[in-house]
């Protein structure tokens, strides 16, 4: 009988694929999930504890402050905290009134969540292929997929690098389509001076543990500049509740109606106060990360010249550097590069999550990654 391998978390827990990997399996280098200990320091623990002492433990002052701060960071008028990015995108799908048979053009290079929310409403995800240089949805492919049934375009700014949004918005305007930006990988990234989540009709963010910003493991945010979406988002996030506005006497039980939004029934997708409180400082460390990783330009390795790709991308966007991608066909030729990138990504991930001590190491690894002659040789092999 095979010896049972030790697992720290995962299949032995509720976590499943979201919180585990096997130990002692011979793989030396892994991007750690949490084996460097807690990502939170005393400041954040203090804020979480203070929130626990509040009378209101959900949708209170911490959530309100976080929403305000996040909206300011993105340069967007409105931000709504929710339980995760999937629920954020589900709300967006309902706000866009996606109904059975409606088509939504989606990138195939994403986590299942981006398509799942379309299926949830009976819609049909239609995949438009990606640009192999950036891994983002290709606007020329989107144009080919538009039909009379198309209602929306769902883009993902993959790995932190934003999609080429101008031509995408042009297609959307021409055909009267909604645009949802899945910003799970991109808090803080920008495209031609505009932040992720502010260009399409709605932006959706993830604060899951694996992301650049986290709110105690789970969390999400909806951003929008469209005033007509505020009321629908508010209702769909909280069980279609329409509170009586003229009720001022505090001793009378609160009254509300329950109303649908274009025939859609929402859910409980709220964020709690401890999550929101812990995040406020993580925003600061996320900004630190941007400085620390400035110059870690190994974000994408593809079959083309690294310089060409970075030139093309950097003219228009500034990446949130969430994922460092290496394509399979180069794996053997670029083992050194991939190894260095993994190390940078590992350290950057910790930094993003709030571990300030590793900031210096990230910078150092970035330097090694850029300067190493071995890596330079490997790049030549790729080219
Ligand atoms: C691109 C993308 N969108 C959405 C999600 C879902 O995020 P959440 O776990 O917050 O629902 C993920 C999660 O990995 C993702 O990578």
Q: Report the residue among 180, 206, 322 best suited for mutation to probe ligand 1: largest number of ligand atoms under 8 A from its CB.
A: 206
| Number of Cα atoms under 13 Å in the Cβ half of residue 383 | 11
Strands 256-258 and 190-191: unpaired
If one residue of 81, 85, 163, 219 were mutated to test the ligand 1 pocket, choosing by the most ligand atoms within 8 A of its CB, it would be: 85
110 in contact with ligand 1, CB cutoff 6 A = yes
More confident residue, 90 or 28: 90
| Mean pLDDT along residues 251-255 | 79
What is the per-residue pLDDT across 165-181, written as a single tens digit (0 to 9) for each? Answer: 999 999 999 999 999 99
| DSSP H helical ranges for the chain | 42-52, 61-74, 85-95, 113-120, 139-145, 165-175, 230-237, 273-292, 306-314, 335-352, 359-371, 373-382
Tell me which H or E stretch contains 82: strand 78-82
What confidence tier does 10 reach under pLDDT thresholds 50, 70, 90?
A: very low
Question: d(Cα 224, Cα 108) in Å, to the nearest integer?
Answer: 24
**pLDDT over 90 at 55, yes or no:** yes
Close Cβ partners of 303 (under 8 Å, ≥ 6 residues apart): 132, 327, 329, 330, 382
Task: Determine the length of the chain.
Answer: 383
Mean pLDDT, the chain, integer = 77
With a 6 Å cutoff on the Cβ, whether 8 touches ligand 1 is: no
Q: What is the 3-state secondary structure (H, E, C) of 291-359?
A: HHCCCCCCCEECCCCHHHHHHHHHCCEECCCCCCEECHHHCCCCHHHHHHHHHHHHHHHHHHCCCHHHH
pLDDT band at 75; cut points 50, 70, 90: very high
Mean pLDDT of 177-206: 95
Residues 6+ apart with CB under 8 A from 331: 338
- Range scoring the smallest mean pLDDT among 170-179, 264-273, 303-312: 303-312
Examine the pLDDT at 326 and tell me if it is beyond 90: no
CATH class for the domain made up of 42-277: alpha beta
Asked whether residue 304 carries a pLDDT value surpassing 80, the answer given is no
CA distances from 21 to 11, 96, 206, 347 (A): 9, 38, 21, 18
pLDDT at 185 over 60: yes
Given a contact cutoff of 8 angstroms between Cβ atoms, the answer to whether 313 and 134 are in contact is yes
Which of 229, 211, 223, 258 minimizes the C-alpha distance to 352? 211
| pTM of the entire predicted model | 0.79
Q: Measure the CA–CA gap between 218 and 327, rounded to whole angstroms.
A: 29
* Ligand 1 centroid – CA 12 distance (Å): 23
Residue 210 CA: nearest ligand 1 atom is 14
Which has the minimum average pLDDT: 72-86, 157-171, 356-370?
356-370
Please give the pLDDT value at position 111: 92
Rounded mean pLDDT of 315-331? 62
Are the CB atoms for 107 and 153 separated by under 8 Å? Answer: no
Six-digit token pair at 277? 């409180």
The closest alpha carbon to 88, from 221, 229, 201, belongs to: 221
- CA distances (Å), origin 31, targets 167, 200, 324, 360, 362: 35, 32, 11, 18, 14
Residue with the bigger pLDDT between 98 and 363: it is 98
Contacts of 204 (CB under 8 A, 6+ apart): 85, 88, 89, 92, 180, 181, 182, 183, 184, 197, 220, 221, 222, 223
Does residue 29 carry a pLDDT above 70? no
Average pLDDT (72-90) is 96
Q: 158 CA to middle of ligand 1, Å?
A: 11
Asked if the model's pLDDT at residue 1 lies above 50, the reply is no
Q: At 41, is the pLDDT very low, low, confident or very high (cuts 50, 70, 90)? A: confident
- Does 240 score more than 90 pLDDT? yes
- Annotated domain spans of the chain: 16-34+282-382, 42-277
Displacement of CA 186 from its chain's centroid (Å): 5
High-pLDDT (> 90) share of the chain, %: 49
pLDDT at 330: 46
For residue 33, pLDDT over 80 is answered with: no
Instruction: Output the pLDDT for position 32.
Output: 46
Asked if residue 84 has its Cβ within 6 Å of ligand 1, the reply is: yes
Looking at mean pLDDT, say which of 17-26, 66-75, 209-218, 353-362 comes out highest.
Answer: 66-75
> In the structure encoding, which two tokens stand for residue 49, read together?
């504890």
150-156/103-106 β-pairing: parallel
Q: Write out the two tokens for 8.
A: 């720290």
Q: Which of the given ranges, 135-139, 245-249, 294-298, has the highest pLDDT on average?
A: 135-139
Cβ atoms of 375 and 330 within 8 Å: the answer is no
CA of 110 from ligand 1 middle (Å) equals 8
Band the pLDDT of 342: cuts 50, 70, 90. low
Residue 304 to residues 105, 129, 328, 379: CA-CA distances in angstroms? 27, 18, 13, 10
| Highest mean pLDDT out of 184-198, 324-338, 342-356 | 184-198
- The whole-angstrom separation of Cα 70 and Cα 76 is 9
CB of 113 closer than 6 A to ligand 1?
Answer: yes
Q: State what percent of residues in the chain have pLDDT above 70.
A: 64
For 367-381, the pLDDT digits (tens) are 434 433 333 443 343
Model confidence at 259, in pLDDT bands (50, 70, 90)?
very high
Per-residue confidence (pLDDT) for residue 383, from 0 to 100: 31
Does pLDDT of 112 surpass 90? yes
As a whole number of angstroms, the distance between CA 38 and CA 16 comes to 20
At 38, the pLDDT band (50, 70, 90 cuts) reads low
């Amino acid at each position: 009988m095979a010896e049972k391998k030790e697992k720290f978390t995962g299949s032995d827990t509720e976590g499943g694929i979201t919180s585990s990997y096997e130990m002692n399996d011979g793989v030396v280098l892994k991007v750690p999930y949490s084996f460097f200990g807690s990502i939170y320091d005393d400041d954040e623990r203090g804020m979480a504890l203070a929130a626990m002492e509040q009378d209101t433990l959900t949708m209170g002052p911490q959530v309100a402050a976080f929403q305000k701060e996040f909206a300011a960071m993105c340069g967007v008028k409105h931000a709504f905290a929710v339980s995760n990015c999937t629920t954020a995108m589900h709300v967006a799908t309902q706000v866009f009134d996606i109904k059975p048979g409606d088509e939504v053009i989606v990138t195939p290079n994403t986590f299942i969540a981006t398509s799942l929310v379309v299926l949830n409403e009976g819609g049909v995800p239609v995949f438009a292929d990606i640009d192999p240089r950036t891994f983002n949805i290709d606007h020329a492919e989107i144009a080919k997929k538009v039909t009379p049934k198309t209602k929306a375009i769902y883009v993902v700014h993959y790995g932190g690098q934003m999609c080429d949004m101008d031509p995408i918005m042009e297609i959307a305007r021409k055909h009267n389509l909604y645009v949802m930006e899945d910003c799970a990988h991109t808090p803080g990234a920008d495209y031609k001076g505009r932040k992720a989540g502010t260009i399409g009709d709605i932006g959706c963010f993830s604060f899951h543990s694996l992301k650049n910003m986290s709110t105690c493991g789970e969390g999400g945010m909806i951003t929008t500049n469209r005033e007509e979406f505020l009321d629908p988002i508010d209702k769909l996030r909280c069980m279609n509740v329409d509170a009586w506005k003229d009720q001022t006497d505090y001793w009378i039980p609160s009254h509300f109606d329950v109303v649908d939004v274009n025939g859609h029934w929402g859910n409980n997708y709220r964020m709690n106060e401890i999550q929101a409180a812990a995040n406020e400082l993580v925003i600061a460390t996320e900004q630190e990360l941007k400085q620390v990783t400035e110059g870690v330009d190994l974000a994408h390795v593809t079959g083309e010249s690294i310089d060409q790709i970075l030139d093309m991308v950097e003219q228009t966007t500034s990446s949130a550097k969430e994922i460092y991608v290496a394509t399979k066909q180069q794996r053997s030729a670029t083992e050194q590069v991939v190894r260095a990138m993994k190390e940078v990504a590992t350290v950057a991930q910790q930094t993003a999550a709030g571990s300030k001590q590793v900031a210096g190491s990230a910078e150092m690894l970035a330097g090694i990654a850029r300067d190493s002659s071995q890596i330079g040789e490997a790049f030549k092999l790729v080219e």
